[in-house]
C-alpha cells in the first residue's frame, strides 16, 4: 500500500479544504507547506498535535489506547485531533503490525478534516529489555545487545550499522520516531535506568550518540528516516541515592561534585549530529543555579540552556505523564510534576509551554491548551511555534505522501536473517572477560563434559556437547548465567525497575560459594547496571559480564567458537560502602573499584 493514496481522501465529505490545497503540493518548499496547513488549522486541531500519548496494537481487534480513560484511538484522533502515538506492547507478527499501522493512518486520513497523518513512535525494540516504561524485547525484530553492549565494543561504525538496520525495520512497520537514544551517564551506579545508556564516560557516549543519530536519521531527514528523540536532558544520571524520578522518592537530582557540565557533553554531540528531538527528564535539580522544578517545567533548562546556549532548534517533548495522575500496570502513579505539585493541570500545561517544550508525552489533554488560549492566558502564537516544528517534521519524513506501509514487504524485511546474523556476532563480541584464572577459557575439550548449569536451557547445552547433570557435586564444571543483583520493589510498574543494593544477598552469596567450592565454575553476569562482584571474581574460575545475549552466544564464547572483545563501560565498585560514599554526579568516583572502566581481557590463544 506504500504510496497508494489515490483511493483515499484526506478528509471527510464535510471538509472545506480543497484536494489541491498547497500543503499537499510536494513541489513547494516544506516551510511553505507548513504555513499553508497551519493557517487552515483550528485552535483545537493545533492543540491536538501537541499531545503524544500511548497506544497498543491489537492486530485481531479494535485500536485501543493505554491511556488513563481507556479511550479508543479513533476517538482521540477524530474528536481530539491527536496524531502522535507511542506504540506499546510486543511485535510478534510483522504483517499484522504493518496492517494495524495502515488502519490507524486510514482513520486519520478519512475521518479528520485536514487529514494530518499519524506519527508513531516507540521505545527501543531491538534488544532484550522488557519494561513497559523503558523498552521491549525484540520480538520479530532483529535482536542486538543493549546499548551498553554496543558501547563495550567501542565502535561507532557498529553503532551506526545497528541504528541503520533498526531504522529499516522501524520504517517498514510504520514507526517514524525513536524515543531514544538514551545518553544519560552512569555516574550513580544504583540508578535503575543505566541499562539503556552507553555507560559512564561522557566522551565515549558523545562519539557513539553521533553515530546512532546518523544511522537512524541519515544525512538529512527524509522519507526513509526515523527521527530520534534523544534523552534525558540535561542528563538523568545524577539521581539522589540512585532513585528514579518516575517515583516520588526519586524526584531529586543532585550535583555534589558541581559536575553539571560533564553530563551535557553527549547532548552537545547529539545536537551537532542533527538530533531532531530532545526529551527532558522528570528530575528536579537541587542546589544548582536552576529553578528547583522538574526539567520539563524548567524554563532556565529548556529555553536558556538547551535552546539559548546550546542552540537546539528542534522539537522538545516532555517525558511521559507530567500533567495528569494515572494508573500504570495497576499501580496508581501521580503526575511527575515535581516541584509544581500544587499547580492545577492547566497551570502545569502553561508552565511546560512557558519553559519552551513543544509536546506533552503520555498525555491526552488538548482541551487544557484550548482553555488557556480561550481565556487569554496563553497566546495562540505560542501554540503556533510548536505546531510549526511538529508539522515540519511530518512533512520532512514524507508522511503526507506515504503514510502507509507495504505489509508484505515489511514481513520480508523485519528480522531478516542477515540482520540477525550481524546482531548475533555483536552479541558474542560484546561479552567482557573480567577474570580468567589459569586461562580456563576458552574450554579446550567439552565433549561429554559433565556440567551443572543455571540460566541456560539444558537442551541448548547438550547441542554444544555438554552432558548436563543435576548437582554441582556430580559435575566437572559449572556454568552460571546470573542477573545483576537488585532489591525488589512493590507495585506492578515500580517492580520492573531494578534499584537499590548492587550486592547479592547474604543467602545468595552463600549459595554461590557452595557451588564454587564444589566444582570449577564459570560465571556470566548480565549487567543492566554495575554490580559488586568481589567474591565471584576471586572464587569463580572465570568471570564474564554481558549486556544482552542469547544462551547460544554465551556457549559459543566459553567454548572458543567466538571471542569476548568487550571492555567495561563503567567502573565496577568494590563495595556498597564505596557506592554510598561516592558523589552522584561524578564519574569514576567510587573508592578502589574492583574493575576500572575499560578493563577487559582477551583469550590467550
Angle between helices 366-374 and 380-396 (to 10 degrees): 140
Residues 6+ away with beta carbon under 8 Å from 6: none
State how beta strands 360-361 and 252-254 pair: unpaired
Residues 6+ away with beta carbon under 8 Å from 490: none
Q: Where are the alpha helices (DSSP H) in 186-344?
A: 202-217, 265-272, 299
Which cell is 105 given?
A: 493512518
Catalytic residue ranges? 319
Q: Which of 321, 394, 390, 368 is nearest to 49 (CA)?
A: 390
- Cα of first residue to Cα of last residue in the chain, in angstroms, is 54
Residues 6+ away with beta carbon under 8 Å from 572: 434, 530, 531, 532, 533, 593, 594, 595
What letter would DSSP give residue 218? Answer: -
Q: Which of 566, 515, 495, 555 is nearest to 148 (CA)?
A: 566
Euclidean distance between CA atoms 581 and 28, whole angstroms: 60
- On the CB side of 283, how many CA atoms lie within 13 Å of its CA? 27
Q: Which of 372, 312, 328 is nearest to 348 (CA)?
A: 372
Sign of CA dihedral 474, 479, 484, 489: negative
- The phi-psi region of residue 122 (left if phi > 0; otherwise alpha if psi is between -120 and 50; otherwise beta) is beta
Amino acid at each position: 500500500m506504500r504510496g497508494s493514496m489515490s483511493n483515499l481522501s484526506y478528509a471527510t465529505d464535510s471538509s472545506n479544504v480543497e484536494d489541491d490545497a498547497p500543503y499537499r503540493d510536494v513541489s513547494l518548499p516544506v516551510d511553505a507547506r507548513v504555513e499553508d496547513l497551519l493557517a487552515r488549522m483550528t485552535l483545537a486541531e493545533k492543540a491536538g498535535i501537541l499531545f503524544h500519548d500511548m497506544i497498543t496494537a491489537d492486530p485481531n481487534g479494535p485500536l485501543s489506547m493505554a491511556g488513563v480513560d481507556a479511550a479508543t484511538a479513533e476517538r482521540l484522533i477524530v474528536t481530539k485531533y491527536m496524531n502522535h502515538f507511542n506504540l506499546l506492547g510486543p511485535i510478534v507478527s510483522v504483517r499484522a503490525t504493518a496492517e494495524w499501522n495502515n488502519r490507524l493512518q486510514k482513520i486519520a486520513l478519512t475521518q479528520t478534516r485536514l487529514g494530518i497523518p499519524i506519527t508513531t513512535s516507540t521505545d527501543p525494540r531491538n534488544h532484550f529489555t522488557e519494561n513497559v516504561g523503558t523498552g521491549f524485547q525484540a520480538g520479530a525484530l532483529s535482536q542486538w545487545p543493549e546499548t551498553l553492549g554496543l558501547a563495550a565494543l567501542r565502535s561507532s561504525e557498529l553503532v551506526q550499522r545497528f541504528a541503520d538496520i533498526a531504522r529499516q525495520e522501524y520504517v517498514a512497520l510504520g514507526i517514524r520516531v525513536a524515543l531514544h537514544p538514551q545518553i544519560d551517564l552512569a555516574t550513580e551506579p544504583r540508578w535503575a535506568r543505566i541499562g539503556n545508556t552507553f555507560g559512564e564516560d561522557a566522551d565515549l557516549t558523545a562519539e557513539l550518540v553521533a553515530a546512532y543519530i546518523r544511522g537512524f536519521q541519515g544525512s538529512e531527514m527524509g522519507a526513509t528516516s526515523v527521527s530520534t528523540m534523544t534523552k534525558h536532558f540535561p542528563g538523568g544520571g545524577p539521581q539522589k541515592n540512585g532513585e528514579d524520578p518516575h517515583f516520588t522518592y526519586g524526584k531529586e537530582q543532585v550535583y555534589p561534585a558541581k559536575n553539571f557540565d560533564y553530563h551535557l557533553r553527549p547532548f552537545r554531540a547529539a545536537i551537532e549530529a542533527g538530533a531532531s528531538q530532545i526529551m527532558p527528564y522528570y528530575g528536579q535539580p537541587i542546589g544548582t543555579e536552576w529553578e528547583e522544578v522538574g526539567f520539563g517545567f524548567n524554563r532556565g533548562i529548556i529555553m536558556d540552556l538547551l535552546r539559548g546556549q546550546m542552540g537546539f532548534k528542534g522539537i522538545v517533548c516532555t517525558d511521559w505523564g507530567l500533567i495528569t495522575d494515572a494508573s500504570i500496570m495497576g499501580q496508581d502513579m501521580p503526575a511527575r510534576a515535581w516541584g509544581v505539585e500544587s499547580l492545577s493541570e492547566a497551570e502545569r500545561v502553561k508552565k511546560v509551554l512557558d519553559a519552551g517544550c513543544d509536546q506533552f508525552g503520555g498525555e491526552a489533554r488538548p482541551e487544557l491548551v484550548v482553555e488557556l488560549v480561550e481565556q487569554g492566558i496563553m497566546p495562540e502564537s505560542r501554540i503556533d511555534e510548536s505546531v510549526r516544528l511538529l508539522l515540519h517534521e511530518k512533512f520532512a519524513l514524507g508522511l503526507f505522501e506515504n503514510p502507509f506501509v507495504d505489509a508484505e514487504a515489511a514481513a520480508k524485511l523485519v528480522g531478516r536473517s542477515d540482520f540477525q546474523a550481524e546482531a548475533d556476532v555483536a552479541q558474542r563480541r560484546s561479552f567482557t572477560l573480567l577474570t580468567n584464572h589459569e586461562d580456563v577459557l576458552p574450554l579446550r575439550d567439552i565433549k561429554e563434559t559433565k556440567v551443572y548449569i543455571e540460566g541456560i536451557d539444558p537442551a541448548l547445552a547438550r547441542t554444544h556437547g555438554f552432558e548436563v547433570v543435576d548437582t554441582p557435586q556430580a559435575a566437572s564444571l559449572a556454568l552460571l548465567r546470573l542477573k545483576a543483583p537488585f532489591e525488589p520493589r512493590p507495585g506492578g510498574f515500580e517492580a520492573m525497575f531494578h534499584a537499590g543494593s548492587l550486592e547479592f544477598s547474604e543467602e545468595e552469596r552463600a549459595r554461590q560459594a557452595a557451588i564454587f567450592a564444589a566444582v570449577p565454575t564459570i560465571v556470566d553476569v548480565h549487567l543492566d547496571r554495575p554490580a559488586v562482584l568481589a567474591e565471584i571474581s576471586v572464587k569463580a574460575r572465570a568471570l564474564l559480564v554481558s549486556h544482552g545475549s542469547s544462551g547460544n552466544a554465551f556457549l559459543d564464547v566459553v567454548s572458543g567458537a567466538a571471542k569476548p572483545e568487550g571492555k567495561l563501560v563503567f567502573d565496577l565498585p568494590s563495595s556498597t560502602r564505596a557506592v554510598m560514599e561516592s558523589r552522584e554526579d561524578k564519574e569514576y568516583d567510587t573508592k578502589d573499584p574492583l574493575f576500572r572502566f575499560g578493563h577487559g581481557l582477551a583469550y590467550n590463544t
